[in-house]
Structure 1
Amino acid sequence: MSPLATPDIEESVDLSAAPLEPWEVVVWNDPVNLMSYVVRVFRTYFGYSLERATVLMRQVHHDGQAIVATGPRETMEVHAQAMHDYGLWATVRKATR
């Protein structure tokens, strides 16, 4: 066999990638920020409509938390840091659904 020849090898390679697990940004209620400010942050940063931002703010206020974004972990970490920069309490977690 010449040095450039390759032996006949049968290999089975699975090239399918594992699905990306979604992550969530959770904004938590705090005793500091006004509800109107939270709505403004959601509208300014995420581009949510007044209605959507208000629904999320009410979830934060009444339920103590709201999921404001879902996606890849790195992106969600950027969003959580942005919420911190606006003075909101936020965490990143694996999506539960």
Structure 2
Amino acid sequence: MSTTAGSTLTDEATDLATDLRTLPQRPYQVVVWNDPVNLMSYVSWVFRTYFGHSRKRAEHLMMQVHTDGRAIVASGAREEAERDVTAMHNYGLQATLEGAE
């Protein structure tokens, strides 16, 4: 008969969970995609308003979305990036999350 009393399995599992929490988190990127609906001025305004980008940076990102079809507008921890993608959806922009390389 097997018991867990005196087993190191729970200690090892605890150590593994601690190790995983202390690993650096992989950064994620927020990608905004071009669409035929939103005006370029609106997209630039969203980037300035939500992300706090300067007018010059926001217009550069907006032009990247317009000409390249997409732009990486923010990066960070997964939870932050998920929040940003949701915010972009709430502003009516098409956005996705992808792992940074």
TM-score (norm 1): 0.82
**In 2, Cα distance between the equivalents of 1:80 and 1:54?**
19
**In 2, Cα distance between the equivalents of 1:53 and 1:67?**
11
The yes-or-no answer on 1:37 pairing with 2:42 is yes
**Structure 1 residue matching 2:75: 3-state secondary structure:** strand
What does 1:9-88 align with in structure 2 at a 5 Å threshold?
17-88=22-93
1:55 aligned partner, one-letter code: H
Deviation of 1:36 (Å) = 0.3
Q: Which of the residues 92, 97, 100 maps onto 1:92?
A: 97
**In 2, Cα distance between the equivalents of 1:22 and 1:48?**
20
**In 2, Cα distance between the equivalents of 1:18 and 1:46?**
27
**In 1, Cα distance between the equivalents of 2:35 and 2:100?**
22
5+ long unaligned stretches in structure 2: 1-14
Q: Percent identity?
A: 60
**In 1, Cα distance between the equivalents of 2:75 and 2:100?**
8
2:30 aligned partner, one-letter code: V
1:73 aligned partner, one-letter code: R
5+ long unaligned stretches in structure 1: 1-12
Query: Which structure has the larger Rg over C-alpha atoms?
Result: 1
2:25 aligned partner, one-letter code: L
Deviation of 1:18 (Å) = 1.3
The residue that corresponds to 1:10 in the other structure is none
TM-score (norm 2): 0.79
Matched positions, count: 84
**In 1, Cα distance between the equivalents of 2:100 and 2:60?**
20
